[in-house]
Chains A and B, each alone.
Chain A
Amino acid sequence: MALLVDKHRPRSLQQLSYHHDLSARLRSLAQNGDFPHLLVYGPSGAGKKTRIVATLKELYGPGVEKIKIDSRVFQTTANRKLEFNIVASVYHLEITPSDVGNYDRVVVQDLLKEVAQTQQVDISARQKFKVVVINEADHLSRDAQAALRRTMEKYSPNLRLILLANSTSNIIAPIKSRTLLVRVAAPTEEEICNVLRVVGASERWSEAPGLNRRIAKECGRNLRRALLMFEAVYAQNERVTDKTPIPPPDWEALIAQIADEIIAEHTPQRILQVRAKLYDLLTHCIPPTTILKTLTFKLIPKIDDALKADVIMWSAFYEHRIRLGSVSDPVNEIEGFLTALTRIFPPQKVIFHLEAFVAKFMRILESYLMGIDF
Chain B
Amino acid sequence: MANFFDIRARAAAAATNGASSSKVPSKDNGQLQPRPKSLKDVTAQDHTINVLQRTLQSSNLPHMLFYGPPGTGKTSTILALAKELYGPELIKSRVLELNASDERGISIVRQKVKDFARIQLSHPPSAAYRERFPCPPYKIIVLDEADSMTQDAQSALRRTMETYSKITRFCLVCNYVTRIIDPLASRCSKFRFKSLDQVNAKRRLEEIANNEGVNMGDGAVEALMKCSDGDLRKAITFLQSAARLVGVIGDASEHTKQDADDDGGDAMDLDNSGTPLVTARIIEEIAGVVPDETIEKLIQAMQPPAKGMAYQAVAKVVTDMVADGWSATQVVLQLYGRILFNDAIPDKQKNKIVMVFSEIDKRLVDGSDEHLAILDLALRVSGILAGT
Chain B residues positioned under 8 Å from A181 (CB to CB): 241, 286-288
Nearest chain A residue, comparing its CB with the CB of B380? A313
Name which of A36-44, A62-70, A196-204 contacts chain B.
A36-44
Evaluate contact between B288 and A319: CB separation under 8 angstroms. Answer: no
A312 touches B372 (CB 8 A): yes
Bound: A168/B330 CA distance, A: 9
Q: Which of B216-253 contact A (CB under 8 A)?
A: 228, 231, 233-234, 237, 240-241, 244-245, 247-249, 251-252
Q: Say yes or no for B52: interface residue by CB 8 A criterion.
A: no
CB < 8 Å neighbour of A306 from B99, B233, B307, B380: B307
Complex contacts, B145 vs chain A, CB 8 Å: 146, 149-150
Whole-angstrom distance between the Cβ of A148 and the nearest chain B Cβ: 7
- For residue B121, CB closer than 8 A to chain A, the reply is no
> Complex Cα distance A184/B285, Å?
12
What is the number of contacts between chain A and chain B, taking CB atoms within 8 Å?
204
Let me know if A32 and B251 touch, CB within 8 A: yes
Question: With an 8 A cutoff between CB atoms, is B2 at the interface?
Answer: no
Do A156 and B325 have beta carbons less than 8 Å apart? no
Judged by a CB distance under 8 angstroms, whether A11 is at the interface is: no
> Do B372 and A109 touch (CB < 8 A)?
no
Question: A124 with B14: in contact, given A146-B100, A149-B99 (CB under 8 Å)?
Answer: yes
B53 within 8 A of A: no
Q: Give min CB distance, A179 to chain B, whole Å.
A: 8
Q: Does A220 interact with chain B (Cβ within 8 Å)?
A: yes
Q: Is A320 an interface residue (CB 8 A)?
A: yes
Contact A169 B18 (CB under 8 A): no
Q: Knowing A143-B148, A220-B323, say if A77 contacts B103 (CB, 8 Å).
A: yes
Closest Cβ–Cβ distance, residue B382 to chain A (whole Å): 8
Which of A37, A109, A300 meets B30, CB within 8 Å?
A37
Least CB distance from A326 to B in Å reads: 10
Indicate if the CB atoms of B327 and A316 lie closer than 8 Å. no
A174 to B330, CA, bound (A): 16
**Shortest beta-carbon distance from A309 to chain B in Å:** 4
Checking B71, B105, B285, B309 against A177 with a beta-carbon cut-off of 8 angstroms, the contacting residue is B71
Complex CA gap A304/B370 in Å reads 24
In whole angstroms, what is the CA distance A126 to B373 when docked?
45
Residue in B17, B249, B369 whose beta carbon sits within 8 Å of that of A124 in the complex: B17
Contact segment of A22-30, A84-92, A229-237, A244-252: A22-30
Q: Is A154 an interface residue (CB 8 A)?
A: yes
* Complex contacts, B376 vs chain A, CB 8 Å: 312-313, 315-317
**Does B308 interact with chain A (Cβ within 8 Å)?**
yes
> Using Cβ atoms and an 8 Å threshold, which residues of chain A touch B286?
180-181
**Residues of chain A from 148 to 183 with CB closer than 8 A to chain B in the complex:** 148-154, 156-157, 167-170, 173-174, 176-181, 183
A106 nearest CB neighbor, chain B only: B103
> Taking CB as reference atom, which chain B residue is nearest A138?
B367
Taking a contact as CB atoms under 8 Å apart, the answer to whether A305 and B311 are in contact is: yes
Docked-complex contact A167 and B307, CB < 8 angstroms: no
Q: Which residues of A contact B367 (CB under 8 A)?
A: 169-170, 323, 327
A16 CA / B326 CA spacing, docked (Å): 22
CB neighbours (8 Å) of A128 from chain B are 18, 21
Known contacts A24-B252, A128-B21, A153-B31: does B366 contact A319 (CB below 8 Å)?
no
Pick the residue among B20, B307, B328 that contacts A169 (CB under 8 A).
B328
Nearest CB on A from B163, distance (A): 25
Given contacts A42-B325, A185-B325, contact A113 B101 (CB under 8 A): yes
Give, as a whole number of angstroms, the nearest-CB distance from A341 to chain B: 21
Q: Is A339 located at the chain interface by the 8 A CB criterion?
A: no
Residue of B nearest to A159 (CB): B30
In the complex the two chains form, what is the Cα distance from A294 to B114 in whole Å?
56
Q: Please state if B322 and A43 are interface contacts (CB–CB under 8 Å).
A: yes
B259 interface contact, C-beta 8 A: no
- Check A150–B287 contact: CB distance below 8 A: no
A356 within 8 A of B: no
**B99 contacts across to A, CB distance below 8 A:** 149-150
* Residue from A150, A186, A300, A323 in contact with B100 in the complex, judged by beta carbons closer than 8 Å: A150
Chain A residues with CB under 8 A of B344: none
Please tell me if B27 contacts chain A, counting CB pairs below 8 Å.
yes
Which residues from B are CB-within-8-Å of A185?
323-325
Interchain residue pairs with CB less than 8 A apart (30): A24-B249, A28-B251, A32-B251, A34-B244, A36-B244, A123-B13, A126-B17, A128-B21, A143-B148, A149-B101, A150-B101, A156-B29, A169-B367, A170-B367, A177-B234, A178-B237, A181-B287, A183-B324, A186-B323, A186-B324, A220-B319, A293-B372, A296-B372, A305-B308, A305-B309, A307-B308, A309-B308, A309-B311, A309-B379, A313-B380
Q: Which residues of B are at the interface with A, using a C-beta cutoff of 8 A?
A: 10-11, 13-14, 17-18, 20-21, 23-24, 27-31, 70-71, 99-103, 105, 107, 144-145, 148, 228, 231, 233-234, 237, 240-241, 244-245, 247-249, 251-252, 285-288, 307-311, 315, 319, 322-330, 363-373, 375-376, 379-380, 382-383
8 interchain residue pairs of minimum CB distance: A316-B376, A42-B325, A28-B248, A156-B30, A177-B234, A305-B308, A186-B323, A146-B100
7 extra interchain contacts, Cβ-Cβ under 8 A, other than A150-B145, A308-B379, A320-B366?
A36-B241, A156-B30, A173-B70, A176-B288, A178-B237, A309-B379, A316-B363
Q: A-side interface residues toward B, CB under 8 Å?
A: 24-25, 27-29, 31-34, 36-37, 41-43, 46, 77, 109, 113, 123-128, 143, 146-154, 156-157, 167-170, 173-174, 176-181, 183-186, 220-221, 289, 293, 296, 300, 304-309, 312-313, 315-317, 319-320, 323-324, 327
